[in-house]
Structure 1
């Protein structure tokens, strides 16, 4: 951790050893490391997020269905500019604006498109969070955290939301289909041009053509853009909170694309 850095990154405290595990903080950590901006991490218990943001005068960045404000992380505080930014996408806009001499996260004229992609990916991955059956939260507070989430979802206990084996298998199929559709973007194809991802799953005989031969791990070139970090952040969350055999199953899909992508992002995954 850099103790002389002007920028403080507020991340959610995990079980020891402290590490990023939630998707939105992952988006910010990948972005900071990619740009090479010196920063220090301040780990915050999930139970203290609301009081911290209120203390710093940062408005809630989410709203629950009943209208209750929801305070979440990440958040950054810049001692040089005196700015505090408390939303993962707004952080990206700020970093590119305040640190123009570092590598760009957003390609020219793509902020709106990337914001829409971000919202879509959040929806796709959130729909399949039931496959994450482990938790990375600090065990010292996990019972209180689970009770807090149960209240948010309007259930007496998260156990009420546990999937049956049949429901889990259906969700795996749905997740494979969703990532299959995402693969088309990475292959620069559309419609059913490269594969048909049917609701009953995938099979080699469903391949029509492979897409562009030079398809890489990132959306548009040898270097990632922020859109790649959005996908990578969600994958890293699933890697953290899925049991290993389930994560290995995900990594086997689409010719191993997603495991390879997570591995490629390791160079920007350092905990500072």
Structure 2
């Protein structure tokens, strides 16, 4: 591969917290496959124009039920000319195009299980969302776009405070507790066994994004990292090689 893969991601005001949990999945997948890549920054309101220009596939439809909707991550591979959207599709592309560069992200026969794991992990991380609503690290263009979209979807954007915050934080711990019960306890380091997979990228992406939003030196992140015998901090330490 003579040219580096391009990953389109959005910047923030904090260099330690770029992008979102979905773009972190792709960052991890590229690193697990030992593929060099460069990041090209794009603010969220500019994603559609970019996607149309480079002919990236849409990942859904808008609220009108027919207009294409575009999201990141998107990768562009100069070596093949391919442009791929959505983290699972990107993982499949990397496996197919670079099968020997690193572990298979979605080994044969595991796709359904890994995608189900992705949805289950996302559901149990939902209680963390209110802690992100301050939007302090977002650049103005992306913040305005994101909050307008949430408003259009009927999402109440409210940062919990005081007793309400403590109750919400307890829900976060309960959600991670459910995930912890699914993880290997038989000596294997990763979700699928001895090698990292797309499922690990999904889980670590949520953790990495959460750490970036809360701040790695924050009381809340340090507390989260220590839950369940330090499981989450250990996972992040193990995956630091892929950042």
TM, length-normalised to structure 1: 0.77
CA distance in 2, matches of 1:153, 1:9: 25
CA distance in 1, matches of 2:228, 2:14: 33
Deviations 1:139-184 (A, max 9, x none): xxx2x333322221227xx995232323222221111111111111
CA distance in 2, matches of 1:127, 1:69: 29
CA distance in 2, matches of 1:43, 1:146: 15
Indicate the structure (1 or 2) with the bigger Cα radius of gyration.
1
Let me know the Cα RMSD of the aligned residues: 2.5
SS of the residue aligned with 2:90? helix
For the structure 1 residues 248 and 154, does the alpha-carbon distance in structure 2 shift closer, same or farther, using more than 3 Å as the test? Answer: same
Counterpart check, 1:153 vs 2:150: yes
SS of the residue aligned with 1:58? coil
- 2:234 is matched with which residue? 260
Counterpart check, 1:178 vs 2:172: no
CA shift for structure 1 position 75: 0.5
For 1:115-134, what aligned pairs fall within 5 Å after superposition?
115-132=115-132, 133=134
Counterpart check, 1:237 vs 2:209: yes
Q: What is the aligned counterpart of 2:53 among 30, 52, 55?
A: 55
CA shift for structure 1 position 126: 3.3
For 1:4-43, what aligned pairs fall within 5 Å after superposition?
5-15=3-13, 17=15, 20-43=18-41
- Which range moved further: 65-74 or 24-33? 65-74
Higher helix share: 2
For the structure 1 residues 252 and 174, does the alpha-carbon distance in structure 2 shift closer, same or farther, using more than 3 Å as the test? Answer: same
TM, length-normalised to structure 2: 0.86
Counterpart check, 1:250 vs 2:224: yes
Do 1:136 and 1:240's aligned partners in 2 also have CA atoms closer than 8 Å?
A: no
